[in-house]
Amino acid sequence: MGQPALSAEDENAVLQHVERWLNHGFFPYHMLAKDAANAYFHNHQGYSQNRPNLNVGWQKGFWMRHRGLADRIAKERSTLKLKGPYEDRRAWKFFQTFKDIKQRLQVFNDNIYAMEDAAFVTTMYRKASLMFVRPMNQNHKREERAFSSVIHCCSTRGKHLTPYVICRSQDPPQTKNFGDIKVSFTQSGWAEANHAVDWAKTVFEPQTRPKGRRQTWRILLISHRFRILFPEFEKFCWDNRIACICFPKNDQQFFNPMENIAFGPMQKSYTDYMRKRFSDNNENAITLDVREFASWIGGEVASSKRAEEAADTWRQSCLLPLDEFRLRNCLQGNRATAVPEDRTSILDSRLYSDETPRIARSLATSRTSVPLPIIPSMETESRYSSRDYSHPLPRESQETEERGGSYESGGGQSDSEGENFNSHQPMTPSRTPRLPKTPRAKSPETASPGSMMSSKKHRDTLDKCIEGSPQTRKRYRDDLILDRGDLEKENVRLKERVELLEQFAFKRPRLD
């Protein structure tokens, strides 16, 4: 059992900090106790000169002295990636935590804020997604695109704070100011732990501090993707009467209103702006410099239209006002009372690539209150190809789903009934459906050059080959090699035709 390096009072303060960190929904990582203790003693007067050596050994002794807290962290870590009922349970825990803190600290609706960071692609050379979210672990995949990330923060009234911009650069870390906007440079292009603390000290705290009422509390809701927050950030906010609460991971689009604010109309506005620049400049690519991007994002968050849209998005969530009935309906898929903006079209293109089919499948099969019609198989579709056939109504499809697969088990009876309904001629062994005629293959002389890639498709395939993984690069490389062979054959054929035409060409006499 390790020797306690702190007094009983100091260790109790560290214990309260760790418990508050867990109660507010933050990630229970391994070095939590050590970082919480160092954050506590960072500005402590008694330890300004002689700070204790709080290392991994001290943390091990801390967990041994507080077995209940260690078991709680281990349990939360084991269920962190589980979905289904665990996901709904985390959503209810967040809702109750937000409700309790709001009532206990007497926080007004005007003092509630939400924060999210988003990446803006600053170099455009083809029509593609120009915004994407922060990856859960950015070290697993190196981002090759030129982009700048922005820390957004918005109040429930639609007030946007000054954006904090982080640009990607290979130069040493530096900071520049363009008007009121601070721009930092990192090699990854994403905000790091020191940027989060700097944002809280220079942007959030001074711009949201209540005037004349120092005892008023504020609530800051933080995205679950923002894993760069550490106890130092939370300790600074708590000392300045800012209660930080972390959104749990939830695939429902209504849950985090800041995601719809950051990836909603602002994403469409940036896409229109970049595509207009791309069409005006007759070049292969355009790049926004840091000053131009900072000017655009500053004007965007200062727009009154963006404030109205953000306030409307907050009203569509279950947090303003607090509505347990709306939260229950949304978690069950009945979203009649919550209609957020659809974010499926603005997620990163990597979510729909060949590398992560599971993520794309989970996004495509999100729960909804409208029952989806059952898509028939190819064999059934050929038999239902009559023009009298119509797709089932939503009520009919719901009854079909409730039968639990009886459509496939009783295939013979349902098929015969469908055939009698459509053509009034039963299916018999002597009457088989006529197979569609296969088109006759064209000769190489009469074949059209449509089999070759267009310039746009060739450029897109080349981009996917460059940005893809080793598995997808091989497939795209094979497509490019085949297309090159087709181009060489087409060039040979065109040269033969040119030589043939030159034999019959003659020079016209001049009329003058």
CB contact at 8 A, 343 and 363 = no
Half-sphere exposure (Cβ direction) of 445: Cα atoms closer than 13 Å: 2
Q: What is the pLDDT of residue 141?
A: 55
**Shared domain check, 251 and 294:** yes
Residue 360 forms part of a structural domain: no
d(CA 78, CA 431) in angstroms, rounded, equals 59
pLDDT tens by residue, 392-408: 433 344 444 444 444 34
Residue 126 forms part of a structural domain: yes
**Shared domain check, 304 and 209:** yes
pLDDT interval class at 474 (50, 70, 90): confident
Please compute the mean of the pLDDT values over residues 493-511 and round it to a whole number: 71
Q: Specify the CATH number for the domain of residue 162.
A: 3.30.420
**Shared domain check, 224 and 291:** yes
Residue 488 forms part of a structural domain: yes
**Distance (Å) of CA 365 to CA 84, 97, 337, 371, 405:** 13, 29, 20, 12, 18
pLDDT tens by residue, 96-142: 999 999 999 999 999 999 998 888 888 776 555 565 556 555 554 55
**Shared domain check, 124 and 34:** no
Residue 169 forms part of a structural domain: yes
CB contact at 8 A, 221 and 250 = no
pLDDT tens by residue, 442-471: 444 444 444 677 777 777 777 777 777 777
Residue 291 forms part of a structural domain: yes
Q: What is the pLDDT of residue 424?
A: 42
Residue 403 forms part of a structural domain: no
Q: Kind and range of the H or E element at 164?
A: strand 164-168
The tokens for 276 are: 């207009």
**Shared domain check, 33 and 114:** no
pLDDT tens by residue, 318-342: 788 887 887 777 777 654 444 443 4
**Shared domain check, 115 and 233:** yes
Final residue of a domain: which of 285, 316, 347?
Answer: 316
**Shared domain check, 303 and 158:** yes
Residue 335 forms part of a structural domain: no
Final residue of a domain: which of 288, 316, 344?
Answer: 316
**Higher model confidence: residue 420 or residue 505?**
505
Is residue 421 over pLDDT 60?
no
pTM, whole model, 2 decimals? 0.62
How many domains, in total, are found in the chain? 3
d(CA 307, CA 154) in angstroms, rounded, equals 9
Q: Provide the domain limits for residue 463.
A: 455-505
d(CA 269, CA 317) in angstroms, rounded, equals 23
Residue 370 forms part of a structural domain: no
d(CA 90, CA 95) in angstroms, rounded, equals 9
Final residue of a domain: which of 316, 338, 367?
Answer: 316
Q: What is the pLDDT of residue 370?
A: 36
